[in-house]
Amino acid sequence: MDHNELNTRFAIPDQLEFIEGKGHLPVAIITNRHAKAIVSLYGAQVLSFVPDGQRDLLWLSPQSLFESGKAIRGGIPVCFPWFGPHAGDPKKPVHGFARLLTWKVTESLALKNGNTRLMLGLASTAETLALWPFAFAATLIVEVGEKLDVTLCYTNTGSETFMASNALHSYFSISHIANIALSGLKDCFYYAGFEKEANNQQHENTLKIVREENRRYINHMADCVITDPAWHRSIRVEKKGSRVTVVWNPYSETVKTMADISATGYRDFVCVEAVNAYIDFAELNPGESHCISTTISLV
Ligand code: TA6
């Protein structure tokens, strides 16, 4: 369906319209009295969330590709049905295929409280079954209000039990990586880098990022807050349905290996991700569903 057909079926006057975005990929533009947001149907990826009168809370790389088969760098990528490299086959796409496929619009709704809701769907096809041999139906629900609420739900529609991992891999826009402090992770154990054991424990109240970090915190359900004094703001990151939080920044060396982030781009974002993986897979019997959500707001 192109953006004209999408508008015929799902546009909401003065609140929601579809346009052809970069790389000819369709995007939904949501504007209401609380905020403005942009959602790419390719990847079901929220690209921008700007509360009224504020800066964007999400970061989108100016060097991002917008190209079928390539992930968009920034916003909230949906990782599914695996998180990170595929365990058995490194040739399969990192973070699964959900961020590399165009999702269908299934519903749009103007809510009484002024919020706008957009629902996107993705179901298994011959293409996905070739990468992951299980039948599923996934939904991404984006609700734009004073807060941004993003929920991924998926159901096992096949006849075999499956184990999936997934993430809402949010990139937050910050004034400078040196300026921010991240709270909400004190006392949690984490895997550092690609270590196999979560032997490290954070003793500090806040995390300052001064080098490459890829911390995968386990048994973490609390809110995180990114304090950014230079921009006079703090971003609260809440989540549900997840016991793993990943904090990632490639920093100045690894960023040089990434074609879609500039050499200094690592300064402009931090990822705080709601994850199901490692100690927290979703094991679903036929007919069962799992949901994970993240809620993002200014404190
Ligand atoms: O969540 C952290 C992470 O898995 C890192 O290891 C890093 O590779 C990042 O995600 C980005 O992955 P991507 O495939 O989008 O380049």
Contacts of 261 (CB under 8 A, 6+ apart): 61, 63, 73, 250, 255
Nearest CA among 73, 34, 286 for reference residue 169: 73
pLDDT tens sequence across 171-192? 999 999 999 999 999 999 999 9
Ligand 1 centre and the CA of 95: distance in Å?
8
* 123 exposure class (CB count in 10 Å sphere: 0-12, 13-18, 19+): middle
64: left (phi over 0), alpha (psi -120 to 50) or beta: beta
Ligand 1 neighbourhood includes 246 CB (under 6 angstroms): yes
- 83 and 96 in contact (C-beta within 8 Å)? yes
What CATH code would you report for 3-298? 2.70.98.10
Rounded to two decimals, the pTM is 0.97
In testing the pocket of ligand 1, which one of 82, 214, 260, 294 has its CB within 8 Å of the most ligand atoms? 214
pLDDT recorded at residue 2: 81
Q: Region 262-270: what's the mean pLDDT?
A: 98
Ligand 1 neighbourhood includes 71 CB (under 6 angstroms): yes
pLDDT tens sequence across 49-104? 999 999 999 999 999 999 999 999 999 999 999 999 999 999 999 999 999 999 99
Other CB atoms within a 10 A radius of the CB of residue 146 amount to: 15
pLDDT recorded at residue 3: 84
Q: How far apart are CA 193 and CA 40, in angstroms?
A: 30
Ligand 1 neighbourhood includes 94 CB (under 6 angstroms): yes
Nearest CA among 134, 82, 86, 125 for reference residue 103: 125
Q: Is the pLDDT of residue 11 over 90?
A: yes
In testing the pocket of ligand 1, which one of 271, 276, 294 has its CB within 8 Å of the most ligand atoms? 271
pLDDT tens sequence across 120-173? 999 999 999 999 999 999 999 999 999 999 999 999 999 999 999 999 999 999
Nearest CA among 43, 4, 51, 11 for reference residue 29: 11
- 217 and 189 in contact (C-beta within 8 Å)? yes
Q: Which residues pair with 162 in a beta bridge?
A: 284
Q: Cα dihedral angle (60, 54, 266, 75), rounded to 10 degrees?
A: -30
pLDDT recorded at residue 4: 86
Closest approach atom of ligand 1 to CA 83: 4
